[in-house]
Amino acid sequence: MTVELKGYPIKAFAICLIAYATAQMDLALFGYAIPSIREEFNLSLSGVMAIVSVAFVLGGILIVWLGTLADRLGRKRMFEFSLIGSSILVALHSVVPNPATLAALRGTSIAVGGLSYPVTGAIISEEFPARVRGLFMGLLQIGYPLGWALASIWAAWLLGSYGWRYLFLVGLVSLPLVWVVHRVIREPARSSAARATDTPRPSVTELLAPGIRRRAVLLFCAQFLFVWAYAGSIFLFPSYLSSSRGLESFDFSLLIGAGNAIGILGYILAAITGEYWMTRRNTVVLWTMLGAATFQALVWLTSDFTSTLWVYGLMSMFFYGSAAVKFAYLAEVFPTRLRATAMATCGSFAVTLGSASGPFMVSLAVERFGWDIGYAAVVGIPLVLAGLLYIFLTPVPSGLEVEEVESLLAREGA
């Protein structure tokens, strides 16, 4: 296995992980800036979440189209485009004059930055040996908590002293990665071979074909519900700590950053468990249910900074860490020629719609029922439903080449 991983695969993984983490950092900056944005534009909690919702709907529509381009034009070309476009669009947040402009700019940056999800996933799934593909796909998801941890460092330094507008200039730090990707990353041979065939150009409608439709619909719904809960929890957590727990920006940035750093362990354990000890489907169910339980403990059983930090870290390990196996499962159960399209539609599009719905509905529940009840119910129930939907998906043994997975699912009609 060591020989198989030497050279290019490990280099590609390191670059994809760094790029994925910086993309998540760029997206996370907005969560930390929400309390300050509300104050400057005189917005209610549901008002600022309405901006988030509009932005994610716009981003979701765009990202499906961009995902199909990754199948048609190639992974590497769209990877470079994502890095350049996201850096510039995030930095432009610093000069928005009004909420409408902020929503439009936010939506386009979500789409372009979010393209890193299907592109990096496709590169890793197509370049890595079958025996460790799922493990490294899972480890790639460490970019989520790393991105939030990095954003917390910037927020702790910049928010209090310079304000939220300067915070978004941090988006420019990922620009040098474009040169690294251009020099090191190659177009996967599987992707090039798939584009060279005479088959029709990949389209979203193919995901509704017999033999693919069931898994596509189930994965879309499960991802939508999971991200409803994920976005509702993580984007509103700074506001929760500020409004309900009375923490200042430095303190809640530190708590969230440290909690996500602790949560990295859960991503690693999920990836290892899904690769060697359980199927990825069963690992998703277990991690999601444990995440739902620890989220309720976070809301109802913590009060001081220390207890909140440790329970948040534990919750991050399971709730957010379940993404490590979700990502790997999603990437391997679709044909190569449709992989980026499927990941953009069943993954990124579901993510953006969940992100549009979750925070807004949680904010409405909080305004009506208060932080504890609104937060616990409107995050907790969709999270449990997301875990249960995975029970209806076909478990896939680890160690199969992506072509073997495709044959297995075709035989079972799943």
Cα(340)–Cα(195) distance, integer angstroms: 12
Q: Is 246 exposed, middle or buried (0-12, 13-18, 19+ CB in 10 A)?
A: exposed
The residue whose two tokens read 């969560």 is: 31
pLDDT of res. 414? 57
Cα(356)–Cα(27) distance, integer angstroms: 14
The more confidently predicted of residues 215 and 208 is 215
- Which residues are CB-neighbours of 330 under 8 A, at least 6 positions away? 121, 219, 223, 342, 343, 346, 347
Are 34 and 235 in contact, with CB atoms under 8 Å apart?
yes
Are 181 and 83 in contact, with CB atoms under 8 Å apart?
yes
pLDDT of res. 6? 67
pLDDT of res. 409? 75
Cα Rg of the chain, angstroms: 20
- Hey, what's the torsion of the CAs at 238, 244, 245, 248, to 10 degrees? 50
The more confidently predicted of residues 227 and 3 is 227
C-alpha closest to that of 35 among 22, 26, 25, 47: 47
Name the DSSP class of 74.
Answer: -
pLDDT of res. 286? 97
pLDDT of res. 1? 46
pLDDT of res. 3? 43
The per-residue pLDDT of the chain, averaged, comes to 87
Residue 163 has pLDDT above 80, yes or no: yes
Fold of 2-193+201-412: Growth Hormone; Chain: A; (1.20.1250)
Cα(196)–Cα(219) distance, integer angstroms: 28
pLDDT of res. 261? 84
What is the pTM assigned to this prediction?
0.79
Name the DSSP class of 43.
Answer: -
Alpha-helical runs (H) found in 302-370 = 305-315, 323-332, 339-342, 350-369
C-alpha closest to that of 134 among 298, 234, 278, 21: 278
Q: Which of 82-86, 122-126, 323-327 has the highest mean pLDDT?
A: 82-86
Residue 404 has pLDDT above 80, yes or no: no
Cα(211)–Cα(213) distance, integer angstroms: 6
Cα(26)–Cα(167) distance, integer angstroms: 10
pLDDT of res. 199? 64
Domain ranges in the chain?
2-193+201-412
C-alpha closest to that of 362 among 25, 94, 31, 62: 31
Cα(272)–Cα(138) distance, integer angstroms: 8
pLDDT of res. 168? 92
Helix or strand run (H / E) with residue 99: helix 99-114
Residue 287 has pLDDT above 90, yes or no: yes
The more confidently predicted of residues 52 and 80 is 80
Cα(91)–Cα(188) distance, integer angstroms: 31
User: Residue 101 carries which side chain, given as an amino acid letter?
Assistant: T
Summarize pLDDT for 344-372 with one digit per residue, the tens: 888 888 988 898 889 889 989 998 999 99
The more confidently predicted of residues 77 and 411 is 77
Residue range 283-310: mean pLDDT, rounded: 94
Residue 1, SS3 per DSSP: coil
Distances from the Cα of 173 to the Cα of 23, 88, 151, 224, angstroms: 11, 10, 12, 30
Summarize pLDDT for 87-138 with one digit per residue, the tens: 999 999 999 999 999 999 999 998 898 888 888 888 988 888 878 887 888 8
Which of 51-55, 277-281, 386-390, 410-414 has the least mean pLDDT? 410-414
pLDDT of res. 200? 64
Q: What band does 412 get if pLDDT is binned at 50, 70 and 90? A: low
Q: What band does 303 get if pLDDT is binned at 50, 70 and 90? A: confident
Residue range 204-215: mean pLDDT, rounded: 84
pLDDT of res. 408? 75
